[in-house]
Amino acid sequence: MTEAKEHAVACLQRELDKAQKEMKLKDEECEKLLKVRDQMGEELEELTASLFQEANNMVQEANIKRINTEKHLHEANQKVEILEAEVLALKQLVLTSTPSSPNKHLHPQICINNGTEKKKDKDKGGKPFWKTHRRSTSHHEFTKEARQEAEAQQEAKNDRCKEIDPVCMEEFKCWRLQSDLGRSSHFLSRIIVEDIWPCLNFSNSKLAERVQCCVEDNNIAIEPIPGDNSYPRKCSLTETHHLCNYKIRLGDDSEWYSISQHCRNRIAAVCDFYTYIRYIHQGLVKAEDKEVFYEISRLRKQMSLARLGYI
């Protein structure tokens, strides 16, 4: 009986050892599976994060491309409007040119030969063609427009500055070669300090700074207040009660600010200056330096008159 018990105990001991070894192997396999699971979880998290980052980058690139496309479209529309205006002006010049009264802009040689031709007609004793030929009604209209245009050009010449500042002229020539719209150039920085800042200096300094930035970025909207709303209200820029027939919107802000006629004229004068400067920067102004400088001086004068309330 003792031997049988010992034999049974030995068999049980062997089975127990075998079961313990199997359990140990299974524990090791479980540990390996847990490590694989944790590793796969980490890789899945990294993959998810990278996918989200890539998606954000794609969305950001798409937004940048959309903004650039909208900007190019806006610039293209502006160029198209300018070209349409130039074509319309050329059509008017062509229409004002007739055989009996040719346009001097299209036929400058006639100004030279006009005196000699009239003298020959007088020597022959005949009457000139323009005295006997009856012009149509449309021709009288065109000549009237041409005369008004000539008078406007003469007034513009009389309105020019009588003496040019040589320092400012040299700064303008250097700026036109580089054509930079930033404040780094001496020419634009001088105009900003001497004309633009005083013209856009309002009681509400915080809003005035935003107006100046939006005007420089060409991101401001000015609209008349619709309807019969001509009653006193508080002007957002001067902070005084006045007749405010206009409203402005700055950038992408949805809020509109009521402004008076005087504030609108001051902002519009600065906008006119920046518009002409942008035309020069885009190469749309082909005139000589002196003529362009005269126009810039006129726009600076407009800013000063608007600031003082003369326009």
Say how many C-beta atoms besides its own lie within 10 A of residue 53's C-beta: 10
Classify residue 311 by burial, with Cβ atoms within 10 Å: 0-12, 13-18, 19+: middle
Dihedral angle computed from the Cα positions of residues 182, 188, 189 and 194, in that order, rounded to the nearest 10 degrees: -140
For the entire predicted model, the pTM comes to: 0.51
Q: For residue 130, what pLDDT is reported?
A: 41
End-to-end alpha carbon distance in the chain: 130
Q: For residue 97, what pLDDT is reported?
A: 45
Q: For residue 234, what pLDDT is reported?
A: 87
Q: Which residues of the chain have pLDDT under 70?
A: 92-162, 179, 228-232
